[in-house]
Amino acid sequence: MNKCYGYDERMDFFYNRTKADTADQWTGAQLIGVLCFGTFFCLFIFISNSLVIAAVVKNKRFHFPFYYLLANLAAADFFAGIAYVFLMFNTGPVSKTLTVKHWFLRQGLLDTSMTASLVNLLVIAVERHMSIMRMKIHSNLTKKRVTFLIISIWAIAIFMGAVPTLGWNCLCDITVCSSLAPIYSRSYLVFWSVLNLVVFFIMVVVYIRIYMYVQRKTNVLSSHTSGSISRRRTPVKLMKTVMTVLGAFVVCWTPGLVILLLDGLNCTDCGIQNVKRWFLLLALLNSVMNPIIYSYKDDEMWATMKRMICCSSEDRSHDRRSSRIPSTVLCRSTDTSGHYIEDGIIQGTICGKGGLGDKGNS
């Protein structure tokens, strides 16, 4: 009969059993390097995501479903920074001194934050897909539905972070313990990594569909009108934005998911212990890049944050036309003839005044 270990058990037993000797090697230059990079990233996460949330609250032009979800993504990334700070103070040689309960809390925070960010990205992708297919600046989601989505995102994230604590672990069967997470069951690591890779694949499909749809409709419009230089550049700008989103996610998440999957499959010769800390930093980069990709390319968002940083109350640059493309945002079309509106892509997220729908009727 297998022995079940309690939540007050020290982690040194599990680390020694799984031969996770890198916990002792997290010292010297390597540990200092990881802590320095981690501190810098966390500071940037706290500042940039706080600015995003404040901008959405302050600017009434952002009181729409997409920006509520964007603020929630910023909150998830902010939480990721908190989780990583907690990890930095409870890693390296300290890991072996933790109790099982304390270690579950450490990993649960990380799993919750990463799941929240990932599900947020998926929901934003679906919301953008719904809006673009209907050629609207925002989807038809009501505030109640957005609130329900946000609550559901965090419920899923908290549940996924708590699953190992609730019983899917190896405390009662140490033969199935993983190497990277000494009290996680290998079957759970396989489940978690495969699930996230599937979500990643769905996001890729959604954004590729968005890009192909907008490019096709833009080409149709261009064939009937001479168009300006900025219009002709729209498909290229859209491609760069979409590829930035996809590339950032691939680079930041795939390596970590792959090593978790390899560990779950009990690959003892893959050398995963030597790279786990760097892949964790790489995953953290996703929370650093999200504010840049989803917010700073939105001219109105950038202007709002810039005014807050400069502590200026002047309302400037509101009517300035943007030469940059916000990430996959289109304007609402009021043209009943079915023509596709691309000024929303060129001008920014807010197109209420002087929109092309009005131009088409002029």
For the chain, the structural domain boundaries read 11-223+234-310
- At 139 the pLDDT is 66
Residue 136, pLDDT score: 63
Backbone angles phi, psi at 9, to 5 degrees: -70, 140
* Overall average pLDDT of the 246-270 stretch: 81
**pLDDT above 70 for 346:** no
Mean pLDDT of the 291-295 span? 72
- Provide the pLDDT confidence category of residue 154 given band limits of 50, 70 and 90: very high
Q: What is the pTM of this model?
A: 0.76
Cα 60 to its chain centre, rounded Å, is 24
So what's the pLDDT on residue 163? 93
Q: Determine contact, residues 203/249, Cβ cutoff 8 Å.
A: yes
CA distance 218 to 195: 35
Query: What average pLDDT does range 295-315 have in this prediction?
Result: 70
Average confidence (pLDDT) over 339-362: 37
Instruction: Write down the pLDDT at residue 322.
Output: 42
Given this model, what pLDDT does residue 26 score? 56
pLDDT score of 276: 75
Judge whether residue 61 has pLDDT over 70.
yes
R_g (Cα) of the chain, nearest Å? 23
Cα 297 vs. chain centroid, distance in angstroms? 16
One-letter amino acid for residue 173 of the chain? D
Q: Of 339 and 191, which is predicted with more confidence?
A: 191
Average per-residue pLDDT for the chain: 74
C-alpha 109/C-alpha 91 separation (Å) is 14
In this predicted model, which residue has the larger pLDDT, 188 or 31? 188
pLDDT at 245: 66
Give percent of the chain with pLDDT exceeding 70: 71
361 pairs with which residues across the strands? none
The number of CA neighbours under 13 Å toward the Cβ of 248 is 18
Residues 69/127, Cβ–Cβ less than 8 Å: yes
Q: What is the mean pLDDT of residues 54-58?
A: 88
Q: How confident is the model at residue 345 (pLDDT cuts 50, 70, 90)?
A: very low
Above 70 in pLDDT, residue 349? no
CATH superfamily assigned to domain 11-223+234-310: Rhodopsin 7-helix transmembrane proteins (1.20.1070.10)
